[in-house]
Structure 1
Amino acid sequence: MTYLGLDACKAGWVVAVVSDERWIDAFVATDIAAAETRGIDEFAAACMVVDIPIGIPDTGTRLADTLARRFIKPRGSSVFPTPVRAALLADTYADAREASVAASGKSLSAQAYAIRERILDADGYAGRARIPLVEGHPEVSFRAMAGSGIPHAKKTFAGMTLRHQLLQAEGIDVPMELEGRLGGASADDLLDAAAMAWTARRVARGDADRFPPLHLAERFSDDVDSAIWF
């Protein structure tokens, strides 16, 4: 079987493809639907995990984000609070900040607002995907592979080297020279996508963990299971 891991990049999504035994390939897709179509048609993919929130809160914060931040210390800032739905639907950043304060008591960053279309795309597509689609987070997955907190940021040489080694230990030997032909995707994007593919493999096998655990599962008005899998 083969599995897809998706991470956002300048050109859309970089998609890593792995099998039960090894690394297969990577490509860039404009949106999640295109990634799924190519993944199924070309690689017979059975599951995909995306590094973007799925399950958007209407008020307050998600338990998934809170638990994930604790788990990945000292890299906790890598998990940003998922914006409330009203903020994501706002036409301007100023309106989004106002809506966020009204619904959650907190503002939101320009970075979070800038990826609102990606968040809404993933959240809306989850219910109509042809293969299982769930949320992951690369730093959560790498932390799970390592068995302890990761000291190096992902964009540093030490950080990329460590993450590459962690994937190799899981049978996923990412050919870093691929960065040159994946227009719009950087080396850390490729490693993050590979971590999401590792997670997709675990989800399909029934080996994955999740935040929050099933007995604390959260659903909001979109009626989507809000969880970070790893």
Structure 2
Amino acid sequence: MSTTAAGVDGCRGGWVAVILDGGRPETADVRTVARIADLVRGLPETALLAVDMPIGLRDHTPPGGRGPERAVRPLLGMRQSSVFSVPSRPAVYEDDYPTACRIARETSDPPRAVSKQCFFLFDKIREIDGLLRDRPELIGRIYETHPEVAFWRLNGGRAMTLPKKVKSRPSRPGLDERRALLERCGLPGRLFDAPRLPGVGEDDLIDAAANALIACRIADGSAAPFPAPLERDACGLPIAIWV
């Protein structure tokens, strides 16, 4: 495989990407950008990106969230709480938290408000949504993934045994478990030992690294969407978590 593969995760500074030149884990490099469009612009035109951010928004949220959330939760056992239900598009495009909660309740079954953690992701969800709606040619290059589902896939269909975070703070045993798996998959230790870029947490880097390996799977045709066949939203964007 000669396609450049990038795994992307949101971080305090914007976005962090682990980039594999030609899809080769040993070439892993880290880059941060303020906007995901900046990352796309700086990569080869054939590069594939696997991003930990919802792509494809429903106008109404059914029980359990979108199809991807319902499809992957049973795979993760005790880690399934890491998969949150994505609110409706009208809620995601609301900047005021109380109003977003009201709209989310009005457009979900059963009525469900928005967690603060999810609300803080709205800017980034809108960023990707707007990019793909403005540039539909990127739909075949930017894919939604989820780190815990990525780790499940990379671990032979077994969920991680330890939580990555405890009380919303990174947990050393969980981070070490995931780093060890990523190194077994061929990513170099230098990737994790190098001084981290400003605004990038260790958990952000580890998630982006897992996503990069999923981007390789997408490039070589071995990745699969959840659910399959994948769904599409009213704007034609795919609604699927790829691993």
TM-score using structure 1 length: 0.92
What is the CA–CA distance in structure 2 between the aligned matches of 1:48 and 1:177, rounded to whole Å? Answer: 24
Contact 1:164 1:173 in 2 (8 A): no
What is the CA–CA distance in structure 2 between the aligned matches of 1:181 and 1:20, rounded to whole Å? Answer: 22
Q: Does 1:150 align with 2:150?
A: no
What is the CA–CA distance in structure 2 between the aligned matches of 1:20 and 1:163, rounded to whole Å? Answer: 20
Query: Which of 16, 19, 24 is the equivalent residue of 1:21?
Result: 24
Contact 2:68 2:227 in 1 (8 A): yes
Q: How does 1:187-198 map to 2 (within 5 A)?
A: 187-198=202-213
Q: Does 1:51 align with 2:52?
A: yes
Contact 1:53 1:135 in 2 (8 A): yes
What SS does structure 1 have at the residue aligned with 2:57? coil
What SS does structure 2 have at the residue aligned with 1:125? helix
- How far does residue 163 in structure 1 lie from its aligned partner after superposition? 1.0
Query: Which of 168, 193, 196 is the equivalent residue of 1:177?
Result: 193
Contact 2:67 2:231 in 1 (8 A): yes
Q: How does 1:1-230 map to 2 (within 5 A)?
A: 1=2, 2-18=4-20, 19-23=22-26, 24-40=28-44, 46-60=47-61, 61-104=65-108, 105-127=111-133, 128=135, 130=138, 132-147=141-156, 148-154=158-164, 155-174=170-189, 175-178=191-194, 180-214=195-229, 217-230=230-243
What SS does structure 2 have at the residue aligned with 1:208? coil
- How far does residue 134 in structure 1 lie from its aligned partner after superposition? 0.6
What is the CA–CA distance in structure 2 between the aligned matches of 1:142 and 1:99, rounded to whole Å? Answer: 33
% identical equivalent positions = 33
- How far does residue 11 in structure 1 lie from its aligned partner after superposition? 0.1
CA RMSD, aligned part only?
1.6
Q: Which amino acid aligns with 1:143?
A: W
What is the CA–CA distance in structure 2 between the aligned matches of 1:119 and 1:125, rounded to whole Å? Answer: 10
Could you list the structure 1 runs, at least 4 aligned residues long, displaced by more than 3 angstroms after superposition. Answer: none
TM-score using structure 2 length: 0.87
- How far does residue 132 in structure 1 lie from its aligned partner after superposition? 0.5
Q: Which amino acid aligns with 2:122?
A: R
What is the CA–CA distance in structure 1 between the aligned matches of 2:152 and 2:214, rounded to whole Å? Answer: 12
Give the total of aligned pairs: 224
* Structure 2 gap ranges (5+): 165-169
Contact 2:146 2:241 in 1 (8 A): yes
What is the CA–CA distance in structure 1 between the aligned matches of 2:38 and 2:29, rounded to whole Å? Answer: 16
What SS does structure 1 have at the residue aligned with 2:47? strand
- How far does residue 45 in structure 1 lie from its aligned partner after superposition? 5.8
